[in-house]
Amino acid sequence: MRIILLGPPGAGKGTQAARLVERLGIPQLSTGDMLRAAVAAGTPVGLKAKAIMDRGDLVSDEVVLGIVADRIEEADAQKGFILDGFPRTVAQAEGLDKMLAGKGLKLDAVIEFKVDHEALVDRIVKRAKETEARGEAVRKDDNPDVFKTRLEAYKAQTAPLSSYYASKGDLKTVDGMKAIDEVTEAIKGILGR
Ligand code: AMP
């Protein structure tokens, strides 16, 4: 299965993606994780992306499309994948369409997490506290100021993907304000497994 999880930062995409990985046995492809790994490793992509990510803006379509194109060629992605945080612009969605069409593949579902944007800042603050309590490093962009920029980037550049996929008939929605288990059940209902 090839699935896209669409929704603003803090909507719960990562949490649900982790559950889908267990249930479906396909990898989660998070462009945020891939970019953070590139930053940590100091690769040319990481060096380009770091300042952009720290301020909460979007990395260029060209860079992101490049890392996704490489990643979906890997062996573990051949059975399918869960895209988390990608695509984030219409240009990325079009690029993905081309990539998949070139391989004779199709998307199975685009699942949009509907959330109250006002509640997201609180979620992010909570996520940062929980991460700290586990003794792990808190993401630099998980603070209220940068978060506002990330949310603005979502509204301006990613929200249009909802109608992009709706017009293709691929879009399904879940209520991301519900409890984690309820969202999981809703996704099971959509995917039929
Ligand atoms: P995330 O972990 O998905 O919240 O992503 C963290 C940051 O990585 C974002 O704020 C962007 O700076 C960058 N990023 C992740 N995915 C993308 C993408 N598909 N397009 C552009 N920038 C991205």
Radius of gyration of the chain (CA): 16
Digit-coded pLDDT (tens) for 105-147: 999 999 999 999 999 999 999 989 999 999 999 988 999 999 9
Q: Annotated active-site positions, please?
A: 13, 88, 127, 139, 150
Ligand 1 centroid to Cα of residue 32, in Å, is 5
> Residue 132 and residue 39: Cα distance in Å, rounded?
20
Ligand 1 contact via 96 beta carbon (within 6 Å) = no
Is 15 part of any domain?
yes
Measured from the CB, is residue 86 less than 6 Å from ligand 1?
yes
- Whether ligand 1 lies within 6 angstroms of the CB of 88 is answered as yes
CA distance 192 to 66: 32
Could you give the CA distance from residue 110 to residue 5 in angstroms, rounded to a whole number?
6
The answer to whether position 71 is within a domain reads no
Q: What is the pLDDT of residue 184?
A: 98
CATH assignment of the domain containing 104? 3.40.50.300
- Residue 123 included in any domain: yes
Task: For 153, list phi and psi in degrees, rounded to 5.
Answer: -60, -40
Looking at residue 85, its pLDDT comes to 97
Burial of 115 (0-12, 13-18, 19+ CB in 10 A): buried
CA of 145 to the centre of ligand 1 (A): 16
Handedness of CA 130, 131, 135, 138 (dihedral sign): negative
Write down the pLDDT at residue 60.
Answer: 98
Dist. CA 80–CA 1, nearest whole Å = 5
User: What residues make up the domain containing 125?
Assistant: 2-26+79-191
Q: What is the pLDDT of residue 151?
A: 96
pLDDT of 77: 97
Residue 116 corresponds to which amino acid?
D
Are the C-beta atoms of 87 and 96 separated by less than 8 Å?
Answer: yes
Dihedral pair phi/psi, residue 110, rounded to 5°:
-115, 115
12 Cα: distance to centroid of ligand 1 (angstroms):
15
What is the distance between the alpha carbons of residues 52 and 54, in angstroms, rounded to a whole number? 6
**Ligand 1 within 6 A of CB of 8:** no
Name the stretches of the chain with pLDDT < 70: none
Q: pLDDT tens for residues 76-87?
A: 999 999 999 999
Residue 43 is assigned to a structural domain of this protein: no
Residue from 16, 29, 34, 59 whose mutation best tests the ligand 1 pocket (most atoms within 8 A of CB):
59
- Say if 52 falls within a structural domain: no
Query: Has residue 46 been placed in a domain?
Result: no
Per-residue pLDDT at 175: 98
Structural domain contains residue 45 = no
**Does residue 44 lie in a domain region?**
no
Is 1:55 a contact under the CB 8 Å cutoff?
no
pLDDT, residue 86, reads 98
The total number of structural domains in the chain stands at 1
Query: What DSSP state is assigned to residue 60?
Result: P
d(CA 80, CA 105): 10
- CA torsion, ordered 11, 15, 19, 24, to nearest 10 deg: 60
**To the nearest whole percent, how much of the chain has pLDDT over 70?**
100
Report the nearest atom of ligand 1 relative to the CA of 86: 19
> Tokens for 186?
């809703």
Considering only CA atoms, which residue is closest to atom 14 of ligand 1? 32
